[in-house]
A and B are shown apart, each in its own frame.
Chain A
Amino acid sequence: AQKVTQAQTEISVVEKEDVTLDCVYETRDTTYYLFWYKQPPSGELVFLIRRNSFDEQNEISGRYSWNFQKSTSSFNFTITASQVVDSAVYFCALMAGFQKLVFGTGTRLLVSP
């Protein structure tokens, strides 16, 4: 069975602080895909990144970076110099064995000015 754990329910930071959102996953499949989605107050889930199990390279996109470590089954997401517009719920998700997407419970990020 596949499982995604986001232990941080809610994080509050002040603008310009760096923040890391944790994601731990479980799967027995050797081929799998990890995702991060952002859910702003409007409700729609916005795709942020996809990473396959064979690519452990970290990725940076502007203020966003992702650290994928198979040894610890983690796929953490860091926002550098956070902004108020980053306030949202962030979901980590897993797709293994070409099955359905399984989501974590989400982390609510609140960035205050």
Chain B
Amino acid sequence: DGGITQSPKYLFRKEGQNVTLSCEQNLNHDAMYWYRQDPGQGLRLIYYSQIVNDFQKGDIAEGYSVSREKKESFPLTVTSAQKNPTAFYLCASSSQMQGSYGYTFGSGTRLTVV
């Protein structure tokens, strides 16, 4: 079945460490997105990519980095510069031709800093 796979489901990080969240899709979608969800704040866009080897900052990109070397993959690195990384992270994808049909979401990764 086509879909988006995010791993791991739960992730713990020590302060000062970088950590990478995985996002893989087999929907042949062109665009991919990373959102951060905090209680009471909805979903905020971190980074997005509309084509391989290209990506743009979203509303809260500071302290995060991404790469898009393959169409299927869009990993997110939470760096030590991110002051408050504990949150729920959602990856999504959409077809360039049918972006107005909305996004398909993964099941999320819950990151906790210990």
In whole Å, how far is A92's beta carbon from the nearest beta carbon of chain B? 10
A35 nearest CB neighbor, chain B only: B102
| A44 with B108: CB separation less than 8 A | yes
Check B63 for interface membership: any CB of A closer than 8 A: no
Instruction: Name the interface size band of chain B.
Output: 20 to 34
Q: Which residues of B contact A106 (CB under 8 A)?
A: 42
| B100 with A100: CB separation less than 8 A | no
Contact of B43 among A33, A47, A95, A103 (CB under 8 A): A103
- Return the CB mask of B36-67 against A: 1 if under 8 Å, else 0: 00001111010010000000001000000000
Check B99 for interface membership: any CB of A closer than 8 A: yes
B100 nearest CB neighbor, chain A only: A33
Query: In whole angstroms, how far apart are the Cα atoms of A92 and B104 in the complex?
Result: 15
Q: Which residues of B contact A6 (CB under 8 A)?
A: 42
- Return the CB mask of A72-102 against B: 1 if under 8 Å, else 0: 0000000000000000000101010010110
Known A9-B40, A91-B43; judge A44-B106 contact (CB<8 A).
yes
Q: Which residues of B contact A42 (CB under 8 A)?
A: 107
| B90 with A45: CB separation less than 8 A | yes
Query: In whole angstroms, how far apart are the Cα atoms of A50 and B101 in the complex?
Result: 7
B90 nearest CB neighbor, chain A only: A45
Known A44-B108, A45-B105, A106-B42; judge A98-B88 contact (CB<8 A).
no
